[in-house]
Amino acid sequence: MQAYMALGLAIVAEVIATSALKASEGFTRPGPSAIVVLGYGLAFYCLSLTLKTVPVGVAYAVWSGLGIVLITVAGYVLYRQRIDAAALIGMALIVAGVAVIQLFSKTTTH
Check residue 107 and give its pLDDT. 74
Check residue 109 and give its pLDDT. 56
Chain segment 33-63, per-residue pLDDT in tens: 999 999 999 999 999 999 999 999 889 888 9
Other Cβ atoms within 10 Å of 97 Cβ, number: 12
Write down the pTM of the prediction.
0.84
- The count of domains in the chain is 1
CA distance 74 to 107: 31
Check residue 1 and give its pLDDT. 74
Check residue 108 and give its pLDDT. 63
Check residue 27 and give its pLDDT. 97
Check residue 99 and give its pLDDT. 84
CA distance 2 to 9: 11
Domain carrying residue 102: 2-108
CA distance 70 to 76: 10
No. of H helices and E strands in the chain?
Answer: 4, 0
Residues in the chain with pLDDT < 50?
110
